[in-house]
């Protein structure tokens, strides 16, 4: 079944209500790798609910109130076995409370036909709001690369541009050693895909071992930028966009190179041991510190 452009673009998603607790926020932070230094107050504030500054990591919004793996539904027309998470963008309008109830509203922005044998791009946006107040907390936008589904007769553009990194040496470099069990922890935040847990499934997909979730690597890069450019203050990170370039294996060290230009931060992340860029074209927007 091929993609039907009009039908897919008009696809309706029911609002998703998600209640979460401080335990869920702590579990997300542990999955990203915080707690490696149990004496670091900058990490403990995201891990201990009795801390005076207890808060969520700003990237946590990307796992909240989503519609699930909807491309697997037969009427989508998408060959779900061949999809990749190509890009992730996040606009942060207000800090996500450490616990509460949120509503996710998802829509398909557009589907780009790259042509026969070249795949398709599906642009999806989700707005996450606080149920109690109605406040818009974050807008999560993703690009799904449907590798096997080009040539359905849809529009060939416009394609969303990606951020260009500065042509100079990075201003900062931050390294994070991921845990060997990182994927097994992170999957408890809402992505149970066996590719990240079952060695046989990973082998059938061509990997030597289960790989780390792309959004886990995304969160690791977010932590690097947060502690390097925001003094660890989650309220200062307002935007976080990137392109996924290559998979990561749990236990690998992720090195994030950072360029600072006013309130704009450019970044990319690599696995030095394999000399491989895994996250590219990164753009973060940083707010000034609260004068109070």
191 is catalytic: yes
Q: Which residues, 6+ apart, have CB-to-CB distance to 130 below 8 Å?
A: 94, 97, 100, 101, 102, 103, 137
Largest Cα–Cα distance in the chain?
58
110 is catalytic: no
* 254 vs 220: CA distance, rounded Å: 8
Q: Which of 113, 149, 174, 196 is catalytic?
A: 196
Q: Which of 113, 149, 174, 191 is catalytic?
A: 191
Whether residue 118 is preceded by a cis peptide bond, meaning omega within 30 degrees of 0, is: no
Residues in the chain, total? 292
Cβ contact 33:178 at 8 Å: yes
User: The tokens of 232 are what?
Assistant: 């660890």
Catalytic positions: 191, 196
């Amino acid at each position: 079944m091929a993609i039907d452009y009009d039908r897919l673009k008009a696809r309706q998603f029911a609002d998703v209500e998600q209640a979460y607790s401080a335990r869920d926020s702590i579990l997300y932070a542990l999955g990203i790798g915080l707690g490696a230094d149990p004496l670091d107050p900058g990490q403990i504030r995201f891990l201990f609910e009795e801390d005076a500054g207890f808060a969520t990591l700003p990237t946590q919004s990307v796992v909240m109130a989503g519609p699930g793996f909807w491309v697997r539904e037969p009427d989508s027309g998408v060959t779900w076995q061949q999809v990749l998470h190509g890009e992730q963008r996040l606009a942060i309008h207000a800090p996500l409370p450490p616990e509460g109830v949120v509503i996710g509203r998802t829509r398909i922005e557009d589907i780009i036909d790259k042509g026969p044998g070249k795949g398709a791009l599906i642009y999806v946006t989700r707005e996450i709001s606080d149920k109690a107040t109605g406040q818009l907390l974050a807008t999560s936008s993703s690009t799904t690369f449907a590798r096997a589904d080009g040539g359905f007769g849809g529009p060939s553009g416009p394609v969303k541009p990606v951020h260009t990194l500065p042509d100079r040496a990075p201003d900062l470099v931050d390294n994070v050693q991921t845990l060997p069990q990182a994927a097994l922890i992170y999957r408890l935040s809402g992505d149970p895909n066996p590719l990240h847990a079952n060695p046989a499934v990973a082998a059938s997909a061509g990997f030597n071992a289960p790989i780390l979730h792309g959004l886990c690597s995304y969160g690791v890069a977010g932590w690097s930028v947060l502690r390097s450019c925001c003094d660890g203050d989650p309220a200062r990170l307002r935007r976080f966009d990137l392109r996924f370039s290559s998979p990561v294996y749990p236990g690998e060290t992720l090195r994030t190179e950072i360029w600072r230009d006013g309130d704009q931060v450019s970044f990319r992340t690599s696995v030095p041991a394999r000399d491989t860029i895994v996250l590219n074209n990164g753009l973060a927007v940083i707010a000034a510190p609260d004068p109070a």
